[in-house]
């Protein structure tokens, strides 16, 4: 899961496709170079035999707009590797206040960081 997030952040399409279950893997997949991924928060993760589910929040920035992607992803384990099956992504736009923590995850106030 985290490795897929880093692959998204790096734009590593080969890795993303390789860790995608064949039955749901898209024939073609392009990452958006305009989107910068910042933080990943795993809300919960559970694995049961060869099935896994990860509920996560991922914060990204595109053209100065902050978004939070929330998804419950389903995974399957095969040959010691986890494969992404599918999920139910919900994208919301964030409007950070000047004094709220910066969504980039720096720990600084928004106005002293990306919002400055």
Greatest extent of the chain over all pairs of C-alpha atoms, in Å: 48
Q: Which of 7, 28, 10, 32 is nearest to 82 (CA)?
A: 7
- Footprint on residues 87-106 left by Zn ion (CB under 5 A): 102, 104, 106
Report the residue number, 58 or 104, with the smaller CB distance to Zn ion: 104
Token readout for 61 is: 């920035």
Give the nearest distance from C-beta 60 to Zn ion in angstroms. 13
What is the pattern of x (binds Zn ion, CB under 5 A) and - over residues 44-83? ----------------------------------------
**Residue 60 three-state SS:** strand
Alpha-carbon distance of 96 to 4, in angstroms, equals: 26
Between residues 36 and 77, which has the closer beta carbon with respect to Zn ion? Answer: 36
Q: What is the three-class DSSP state of 15?
A: helix
114 binds Zn ion (CB under 5 A): yes
Interacting residue ranges for Zn ion, rule: CB under 5 A = 102, 104, 106, 113-114
């Amino acid at each position: 899961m985290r490795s897929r997030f880093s692959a998204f952040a790096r734009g590593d399409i080969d890795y993303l496709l390789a860790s995608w279950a064949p039955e749901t893997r898209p024939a073609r997949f392009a990452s958006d170079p305009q989107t910068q991924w910042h933080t990943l928060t795993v809300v919960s993760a559970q694995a049961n035999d060869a099935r896994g589910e990860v509920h996560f929040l991922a914060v990204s920035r595109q053209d100065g707009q902050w978004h939070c992607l929330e998804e419950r992803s389903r995974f399957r384990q095969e040959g010691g590797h986890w494969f992404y099956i599918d999920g139910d992504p919900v994208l919301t736009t964030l409007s950070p206040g000047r004094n709220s923590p910066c969504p980039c995850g720096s720990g600084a106030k928004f106005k002293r960081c990306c919002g400055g």
